[in-house]
Amino acid sequence: MPKMRARPGQADPQILMQSTSPYESRRMLVEYDGTTTAAYLNDAANSIAATWIANHQPAPPTTDLSRLNAGRAPIMPVAHTKHPAGRSPLDPDSLAVLWFEEGDGAAVFENGQLLAVIPGWADMTKGMPGYSRDIIGQTPFGWSLDDAMEGLGPRTEQASAFWKWRDASGSWGNFQQAVLGHLLSRLGPGAHYWDAGGGKQPAVGVSERPATADRPYTVLSTVGMSCQRMPVVEQFIEEADEYTRIELAMATSMPSTQAARIFLWLAQYPWRAVTWFGPGHSVRWYHQPATFPLGGGNEAVLLLDDPGGLVGPDVPDLGGFSFGGDPVRWLWVIPITERERLLAKERGSASLVNELAAQRRSWVVSAG
């Protein structure tokens, strides 16, 4: 759906409401131009998805192409609106936004009633608009919210429950202690704990489990990534619940304070970039290779749920923890070169693991 813009001599559309996601990666706008109201889901640079919300004049029999060609939001044709005569303008004070737990989509409420939803899978470039309460059927400018309530109703209820829990006193501390208790049972006592969140959402820490007589390496693990589901997983994985919550881990003989810096980059990455981490995914370092925290000429990481195909001691089993009814999957961080990352991208992560194994590469990260 076109982004509203004013014609010469017209005033800019009025922003009735705007809200930035808790992870600061998406923004929801509701705009009114005197004729229609529409909602837009934006990233830092572009509108990702949109939905018509209301006409404020009688609906035409067909789409007014002149408005679209001028870059104006459409007037919904009469056959597809519950208010063919139009409705009164929305009161900005009546509007509120509820972000999904993943931060990739949101719902708009009017006086506490669900008005529109732009979920994470909505995408204007793919002809998938958002959903609106007053739309009948499917149109290029929005789909019927009534027809989608079986899925979107529970989704908004879950989002509301999540944020109420997350904002409650003690919720983060209780979650944090649950993860630390799980790591204690699997890896033994902890030592240092660092904040990797910088005061922003999602809150994440890094727990150090020092080497022991039976384990000649330190394990570093994130604490907090699994507190919220990752974005967009359901767009790629049918059984999304099995993959939507993760923590990251790394086995290392490097100084922990140096190795733990990798998590300052990775721990909030899925929510900042609106993406997900899964087994076999690789991620390129964002800065100059010389600044890569794990050194060794590497400038990317490979994430594996079972790095046992590489050289090294037995891999600790970190499974068995769940949150929100979903299992939590620990992914191990393995530093790789850019050439190796491109190999994984071209041929798949299994081919790269085979090559690393042939090189006698260990899954335990060492200096140099």
Q: Which residues contact 177 (CB under 8 A, 6 or more apart)?
A: none
pLDDT, position 1? 61
Neighbour tally for 285: CB within 10 Å:
19
Dihedral sign computed on CA atoms, order 97, 101, 102, 107:
negative
Report pLDDT for 45. Answer: 86
Residue 102 to residues 162, 224, 231, 245, 272: CA-CA distances in angstroms?
10, 14, 5, 10, 10
> Can you tell me the distance from the alpha carbon of 235 to that of 272, in angstroms, rounded to the nearest whole number?
18
Average pLDDT, integer, range 29-40: 96
Round to whole Å and give the CA distance between 100 and 80: 27
11 pLDDT higher than 70: no
pLDDT in tens, 86-128: 999 999 999 999 999 999 999 999 999 999 999 999 998 999 9
For the chain, the structural domain boundaries read 14-165, 170-358
pLDDT score, position 9 = 40
Q: State how far the Cα of 347 lies from the Cα of 358, in Å rounded to an integer.
A: 16
Q: What token pair was written down for 118?
A: 């732009």
| pLDDT surpassing 70 at residue 272 | yes
pLDDT band at 7 (very low <50, low <70, confident <90, very high): very low
pLDDT at 241 over 50: yes
Least confident of 4-18, 156-170, 274-288: 4-18
For 198, the token pair is 């910088």
Question: Which region holds residue 360: left if phi is over 0, alpha if psi is between -120 and 50, else beta?
Answer: left
